[in-house]
Structure 1
């Protein structure tokens, strides 16, 4: 991955790095969940290839973020406390949690998985209380229609990614920490659900009562569905962990009910988002070109495939098996198109920032 143009203009390279999207770790999120979904549905070679690629992407993105923080600290930390840009940093938490899950599931590497999980915990604590404290105390704030979009739900995704990786870690270690980790996974799952209710209420209000232009429908609006999909995945893992934690067993009806509730809510969003996409690109003729934010649309597709497969297994339905396979192929197609667009964009020296 290059930073700037194919020419030798250092100013252009610096500009691209300065404007780099805070949400670029959605690339790791999308690649990781497609890899995990492929593994679930018995495509081991594809899962492993995407896993190896994801390790490289993760390392490169941390290098770029570190360079941006060093060379442009005002821009880096200024974006962190901006209402539209700040939530994009939660992709670092979700991407780290998903890569931790890949290590644990695909390679059974508990040490690497636990190390990444610990990093995700630290990132979650730092970003959650930095970003939302800054939003609360700043004197000048945007109006609701200018200050919120689907990207805010990345805070939910980050929380649930931590729940998922915690539940996976709990299933792979013995006492004395198994019970504590399951409680942490449960707590993060519940907090993520509450956070979704708060944020989705504001986002839906913005949908219905403020002017909506094609430019407002940025790809992170797919996180409306993706946040519910990863909540479904976390709930399914808690159900599977219940035999090893008595308090989860006592909550089993509650866990199953809310897991299906999350899945049904995420499923409801799919036709709505498709219709809005047709309106944006078909009716309004909004230009379709690569944007880093499109990784925020690939991720929910892969997550829906993974969560549906896992829920079908945890709930012992047995009749949803075709749906996750279909969404895996859809997610893989979307990932391929977006990845090719990213490579072409970087080869042409286009900036790494989000245009939306």
Structure 2
């Protein structure tokens, strides 16, 4: 008989990387953290639209730093913690968070166009956003479709799924903006792409919201289930309103948009009305969560997903007023811009406190 010990089973890849001590936050970095760039970018754009140029440019500068840092952190995470990164791509709850990178890229591109008048940077970011959208759409949804072990509907779906809609509509909005700033031969093509993405985003919202509303009404809902990305229920409609308004404004330069003008106007108001309906509902649910059920209110990176819809609602309503000539709504963008700015400030303070806590030396034990 041999006294040789049996060979040790191979360790999973993560265990061969340095222990998860100080690097653990990087391993668990939320794919949805680009929501910070989305929120900061749209508050910056809303500030510019509502005549606060100094604030808009300050937020633009901050957003460029945040966008660069987040790409560096995500690249480092993909290299050092590949299993975590790839696992998140096909995770029902975390996978849709990757679509924040698409929306963030499109919004930074829009900032370059609106604030800096830099169409070259905007085009470059538009290209990046399109590549990301194609790659993530057919990776995330294929992975979720073919994986063997799947959660039940109530455990596997959340408002974060609507980030795929936001990503789609962000490309529609940036394409429409570029079409308004760039001449032929690509003006018509960009407008057609914007129209196509706008229509697909609306269809995707109907599919996903049907499942989310079914989960709302036919499964038990605990305070912990009502995470901040549920505000994307409204945010997805707000950015759809923005893209539709930009298409209406572009219609004189594109004959096919001009022929669809009644349809464009009707559906844009439909999106705005749907987003508006969600606001009281989400406020009531937030009160139920934090006041009635006393769920603690503390910083979470997902809260950027609640700031973004508020800023987007302000910006989209401002563009809707211009596109439809409905000046009686002029009080809405300024009111929601103030609310969005307060929410952004609270999230930013929460992030700063979290970073300060993480930088304090831990007492050894």
Unaligned runs of 5+ in 2: 1-17, 360-365
The aligned residue for residue 289 of structure 1 is 298
Distance 2:144 2:64 in 1: 33
SS at match of 1:289: coil
Distance 2:323 2:254 in 1: 16
Alignment match of 2:87 (pick from 50, 71, 78): 78
Alignment match of 1:17 (pick from 26, 37, 48): 26
Output the aligned Cα RMSD: 1.0
1:263-282 equivalent positions in 2, closer than 5 A:
263-282=272-291
TM-score (norm 2): 0.93
Alignment match of 2:125 (pick from 101, 116, 126): 116
The aligned residue for residue 298 of structure 1 is 307
The aligned residue for residue 155 of structure 1 is 164
The aligned residue for residue 189 of structure 1 is 198
Greater Rg over alpha carbons, structure = 2
The aligned residue for residue 48 of structure 1 is 57
Distance 1:188 1:209 in 2: 31
- Please list every run of at least 4 consecutive aligned residues from structure 1 whose deviation after the TM superposition is greater than 4 angstroms: none
Distance 2:109 2:29 in 1: 25
The aligned residue for residue 4 of structure 2 is none
Distance 1:11 1:348 in 2: 18
The aligned residue for residue 354 of structure 1 is none
Distance 1:237 1:186 in 2: 10
**Does 2:311 correspond to 1:313?**
no
Give the C-alpha shift of residue 318 in structure 1: 1.1
Give the C-alpha shift of residue 10 in structure 1: 8.0
Give CA-to-partner distance per residue, 1:154-201, whole Å, 9 cap, x none.
Answer: 000000000000000111111111000000000000000000000000
Distance 1:21 1:11 in 2: 16
Give the C-alpha shift of residue 13 in structure 1: 2.2
SS at match of 1:348: helix
Give the C-alpha shift of residue 108 in structure 1: 0.6
Distance 2:266 2:70 in 1: 38
Give the C-alpha shift of residue 11 in structure 1: 4.1
The aligned residue for residue 177 of structure 1 is 186
Unaligned runs of 5+ in 1: 1-8, 351-356
Distance 1:288 1:174 in 2: 49
The aligned residue for residue 6 of structure 1 is none
Alignment match of 1:66 (pick from 75, 78, 81): 75
Distance 2:20 2:97 in 1: 25
Give CA-to-partner distance per residue, 1:13-53, whole Å, 9 cap, x none.
Answer: 21110011110000000000000000000000000000000
Give the C-alpha shift of residue 12 in structure 1: 3.0
Give CA-to-partner distance per residue, 1:268-289, whole Å, 9 cap, x none.
Answer: 0000000000000000000110
Q: Higher relative contact order by CA 8 Å / sep ≥ 6: 1 or 2? A: 1
**Does 2:348 correspond to 1:339?**
yes
TM-score (norm 1): 0.95
The aligned residue for residue 207 of structure 2 is 198
Give CA-to-partner distance per residue, 1:199-233, whole Å, 9 cap, x none.
Answer: 00000000000010000000000000000000000
